[in-house]
A and B are shown apart, each in its own frame.
Chain A
């Protein structure tokens, strides 16, 4: 279910099916990473990485330190040359047709850096002059979108990190790209700033139909922001997952709940009498029992517990967080 997200489209790139790909408009990937490899000497930092991003999707690129996230992102935007493979943006190859491919990309690579001695407005003018058909009106439009109207004529030297991040987004949106590529966009932001950033990005993806590829090591952030994650390790694709409300876990209808009770022993015995309930964990110390069961069986479990005179203080759903899953995927011994 999860991994087989779009196998048909992917195969189209591999074979001679590029023409066929253009026909099916709705399913055409905005960004298509096709077998990208970066080798330095004998070491492959990124190894045959392949994934697609579709319109309006927010996709997270996850991986432990040194997995090749930043290298991948830099190859996508042409800052680093790939050893083999290619990246297609709206069907244009970054390798062979850089100018026409890159115009659909807006990017922030690591921290946004500007000319500190110029105003935010002058910095944006620099990039406006380098793009075709971007009007002065568009500058003010994006400035308003990121809420920098009051500070735009101040020198960037005087900007806070949060303001710089916003100017970075403004810069990336200036030429109305189809996809935003953000490398660690919440780096160094305070909680309020992170939340603000997340809201902007979600809004942009929803309202303007822009796809977003974001790499971050903040897993909880990715969970809140992304509709899908691409997990890589040692330069290779580990797994692709839908997350959040799109997650396929719901299909199983199995939920994991933890119960806080006065008598763990008795509760365990009662639960075991039920069909389809699995007791995963019991901790007499703090009086919790963790069980897995189909959602519709919960009321009957509660009934039998109270019939057995077990006092239930709390019933909580144990959601397996992205962090848990991430550690499961990557082997758990490394920090993201």
Chain B
């Protein structure tokens, strides 16, 4: 267990030591502050502090930006080792390939979580400073902000896992990013086009946004529930991860 901790720390340093590490955080902060400024200038009274934070975290709002940034950062975790050639040194250590890949995947999830937490904190602070605490019955509560954060984290985790697996299969950072982004764009398209078919409730796209069970904007089919979506998502994640781990374990590094 201790050695797995060391592997995680290694993965963290590989991201952290890059000069580009802070760029996603800066972009998110800049985006939140910019949107808050625009809203307070041109649409006064349209939002309260927590309401703004919830909107910032929502995957139908600014939160989708976070998912894109997480995909860009994590698509290269495996493929960059291939393209830089460092995979050769990485895999001739006294560690199993499964353990090495698991440490990479866990770090990808941790990284996504840091983005969500960072965005949440910035959004709440900005909301409180710019719009002030909401008052009255209609105002958004803090627990709604927290739930929006959790929904965003689930949404991001699914797409990041997809990009992670794409990175293992293609060994190319570019295609992994492309596939991840394509899926996000395809999601809204598929939701519009396929909504009339009842089988589409088993598609990934119709289940990744859990906020639909909480008054969000997703389309809920008859027979779908929060538990249903969680099971469908878990099945997809399991499939992606199995494809990734089996490929990584079998692959000849030439």
Contacts and interface: CB of A to CB of B under 8 A. Distances in A.
Interface string B8-19: 011001100111
Interface of B: 3, 6-7, 9-10, 13-14, 17-19, 84-86, 88-89, 91-96, 250, 252-254
Given A79-B253, A113-B84, A113-B86, A127 B91 contact: no
Interface stretch (A100-108, A189-197, A256-264, A301-309): A100-108
A103 B94 contact: yes
B252 A130 contact: no
B85 A131 contact: no
A98 interface: yes
Nearest to B88: A109
Interface stretch (A27-35, A114-122, A286-294): A114-122
Interface residues of A, number: 32
Given A74-B254, A126-B10, A132 B86 contact: no
B6 A129 contact: yes
A121 to B, nearest CB: 12
B88 A110 contact: yes
5 contacts: A78-B92, A99-B95, A113-B89, A129-B9, A171-B89
A95 to B, nearest CB: 13
Nearest to A81: B252
A132 B250 contact: no
Given A81-B250, A99-B95, A132 B88 contact: no
A80 B85 contact: no
Contacts of A105: 92
Interface in A153-177: 171, 175
A109 B253 CA distance: 11
A77 B254 CA distance: 12
Contact of A109 (B14, B18, B92): B92
A111 interface: yes
Given A78-B92, A171-B89, A132 B3 contact: yes
A40 B89 CA distance: 24
Given A78-B92, A99-B94, A111 B85 contact: yes
Q: Which of B7, B17, B89 has the most CB of A within 10 A?
A: B89
Given A115-B86, A130-B6, A130-B7, A102 B92 contact: yes
Contacts of A171: 89
Contact of B18 (A74, A117, A132): A117
Nearest to A79: B253
A131 B253 CA distance: 21
B168 to A, nearest CB: 16
A113 B81 CA distance: 10
Contacts of B17: 115, 117-118, 122
